[in-house]
Amino acid sequence: MKWLFFMTFLYVAISAFSDLGDTPPTEIPEITNKVELGQKLFFDPILSLDQTISCASCHNPDHAFADNKAFSAGVDDSIGLRNAPSVMNMLSRPYFFYDGRAGTLEEQVIVPIEHPLEMNLSYEVAVQRIQSHKEYDTLFQLIYNTQPDSFNIAHALSEFQRNLESDGSAPHDLWLNGTDTSAMDESQLRGREIFISDDFKCFDCHFGPDFTGDEFRNIGLYDGTTLMDQGRFAITQDSSDLGKFKVPGLRNVALTAQYMHNGMFETLEEVIDYYSNPYDFVAKPINMDTSMIEPLNFTTQQKEDLVNFLHALTDEVIPFSNRDVNVNQSTQQQ
């Protein structure tokens, strides 16, 4: 009897293990190209000094690869100097960082790795870490036909960011392309008319497919007293650049609060209030762009319509995001 029980148990056990072999556990997706390799690096804290934060720690997919704080936390809880912008839609950008200090993504990706308030790791040491990591060494040999080095690590990270382009699923895209003429509601359509109007000049700076002309503008957030970030001037030493910052694109802007280089505004409503009358916020701005000198004085309805239009620039799908929202909603409907 005991022998029969043992044989039955053995048969069940062998069958169970056989079934596991037929249905392998969930596997990590195979990495076969530069974009996927860059993705792995982007989400890996190996590039920070104490291996606690990754690129994605400050450029969170749930916030369209921006941060939801005024200033991001680096290693040892250090706090950055400027707001972390979205790294989506970087493919066509000629400059990077608010002051335009980097001319390529390959230059850009190294800066936060080495910055003492961010990842605080010598890039030379970062490269050595990747080289000594068996899996990364194998992947770089497979994809780049050579071991990891200072060039191809930066290149892989850059290729991932170049791939983070909007897919045309935003309500404004669907409406503009004629895919869905009802994609934007009446308030959003009114907001669009305000946005492109010569009277209000939004489109003077935020034009093109990504709603940026990639220019540097001073919108009044430098006064030499409480607002001390000199922006582009620190790079060029050209007095005309004092207080100028790179004009950001506006795709997915509803997801990227807080706003401005210093994160001083928590909502789009506050941003529109600022553009309506900058002097309510900064009494004596220095070197402010001429287009900003005269307050626009939006009505309450115009402000609401502009905010709703900006929500219509939100992609339905953000890569690697866990968000679950209806992007085709005006704030008045929420």
| Paired residues of 23 in beta bridges | none
pLDDT at 309: 98
HSE-up (13 A, CA, CB side) for residue 6: 3
Give the model confidence (pLDDT) of 267-287 as tens digits: 999 999 999 999 999 999 999
pLDDT digits (tens, 9 = 90+) for 163-193: 999 999 999 999 999 999 999 999 999 999 9
Residue of 195, 168, 197, 173 whose CA lies nearest to 184: 173
pLDDT over 70 (residue 79) = yes
Q: pLDDT tens digits for 289-309?
A: 999 999 999 999 999 999 999
36 confidence band (pLDDT: 50, 70, 90):
very high
Q: Find how far residue 160's CA is from the centre of its chain.
A: 12
**Which DSSP state fits 96?**
B
Cα–Cα nearest to 220, from 153, 294, 163, 158: 294
Give the single-character DSSP code of 30: P
**Pair 75, 119: CB distance under 8 Å:** yes
Structure tokens at 183: 């994609």
CA distances from 322 to 72, 250, 283, 319, 325 (A): 20, 21, 41, 9, 10
In the beta sheet, which residues pair with residue 217? 245
Structure confidence at residue 322 (pLDDT): 85
* Res. 199: pLDDT tops 90: yes
Which stretch of 36-50, 250-264, 311-325 has the lowest confidence by average pLDDT? 311-325
DSSP letter string over 120-143?
Answer: ---HHHHHHHHHH-HHHHHHHHHH
Q: Identify the structural domains of the chain with CATH numbers, from first to last.
A: 34-162 (1.10.760.10), 171-333 (1.10.760.10)
